Amino acid sequence: MQMRSQTAFAGILSALLTVASGPAAPADLHAFWDDRCAECHGHAAQFARNHLKLKDGRLVGSRASRDVCQFLASHGAGPEMAQPLCAMLAAQAATPSLFKQKCAGCHQTAADLARASLVLEAGVLKGKANGKPLAGFLVSHGAVTAEEEARLVATLTRVLTEVGATAGK
């Protein structure tokens, strides 16, 4: 089961990176959500985990017949934002809230941390200030296991892309 969910997450991440790198992708999906959606729906990740699920390759809400991606296009996101937002919400729905459990006490949200402190260089997630890879650092910094560290690095890499970061150096 865990391998299948990791494979599904890898597929979602790949789709997200493809969608987010296209010309219609916004500069910061999390800022867009916070500006347009959070007042009614709260934090995007919490909303996705509590109210959305992937069913037969589609992101659906409480009524499995409603395709969330189609709904977003007519509910404030517009056609150009629906796909990137849908990819973000799908990734969040498929990802346990490990960042919230292990990191949010000090770092608020993953989007805030990514914007302020992270950079992606040659496919490696690094700290902006010291240029050191996050992998190998978090087990001593955040009291996480090696498995949790890998999941956090994958999540933060995804979030860095979602906030519109461009590759460093």
Which one-letter amino acid corresponds to residue 129? A
- Phi, psi torsion values for 57, nearest 5 degrees: 80, 5
| pTM exceeds 0.85 | no
Name the helix (H) or strand (E) containing 59: strand 58-60
CA distances from 76 to 37, 47, 166 (A): 8, 16, 26
Q: Which two tokens stand for residue 104?
A: 């949010």
Tens of pLDDT, residue by residue over 149-160, are 999 999 999 999
Residues 8-13: contacts with CB under 8 Å, at least 24 apart: 8/54, 8/94, 9/91, 9/94, 9/95, 9/154, 12/87, 12/90, 12/91, 12/94, 13/91, 13/154, 13/157, 13/158
**Does residue 141 register a pLDDT over 90?**
no
Mean pLDDT, rounded, for 18-26: 45
